[in-house]
Amino acid sequence: MKPIAIFRHASVEGPGYLAGFLDARNIPWELLAIDAGAAVPTSASAYSGLVFMGGPMSVNDELPWLAPVLALIREAVATDIPVLGHCLGGQLISKALGAVVSANPAKEIGWGEVAVADNPIARDWFGEVKSWHAFHWHGETFTPPQGATPVLSSPGCANQGYVLGKHLALQCHVEMTAAMIADWCVVGADEIAAANSPYVQTVREIQGQTEQNLPPLHQIADRLYTKWLDVALNSSAS
């Protein structure tokens, strides 16, 4: 099968749990480290699916790689190549498809509950799960593009995820590992200290809740990645 392309936009925001998930299933994947100068492919046709990870930048910034990435997403959607976005990745999908990415009413950092929407598409992706504690680190948010179905929300962010056909965009992070959380708490310590939001946890709170919340998060990731991968494999040539 063609590999899954995983786009990294910051060195500490790699595929995380997703990498192990794919490796355990012998699914080929290719890391495209945009932060290290990797070129954006001119076509999505070489891949079974496209995955976009997070990053500290804004999709509204002047970035040299932004236009080709947005064009690649539009091509993938137009040609039925599944796309998956985490946080910045979800915002990239929204931007590419004509939706709005703007400041969220409040910054979200750390562990926080997300609720699954009561609609058939949300149930198809999440089963009987009604809510769980996701990991958050964002100050902006997206609106769903035309034709998308919202599937997740949180008290601090109305749009935590949507599905558009075989494409899934998440504002929250399901790819986290304990090592990633530890790294982010170091890199983002000043941001946490400066934040004035009821939805921002302290480093101590984040670390203190990780052991409890990480295994259920991985169960959610397993379900979402399995669903998305099934779509990707069934829609691509071997």
For 88-120, how does the pLDDT look when each residue is reduced to its tens digit (9 = 90+)?
999 999 999 999 999 999 999 999 999 999 999
CA distances (Å), origin 51, targets 113, 187, 199, 215 = 24, 23, 27, 22
Total domains present in the chain: 1
For 29-49, how does the pLDDT look when each residue is reduced to its tens digit (9 = 90+)?
999 999 999 999 999 999 999
For the domain that residue 73 is a member of, what is the CATH number? 3.40.50.880
Instruction: Determine the residue type at 222.
Output: D
Q: Could you tell me if residue 234 is left (phi over 0), alpha (psi between -120 and 50 degrees) or otherwise beta?
A: alpha
Instruction: Note down the domain range covering 97.
Output: 4-234
For 116-134, how does the pLDDT look when each residue is reduced to its tens digit (9 = 90+)?
999 999 999 999 999 999 9
Pairing type for strands 83-86 and 101-116 reads unpaired
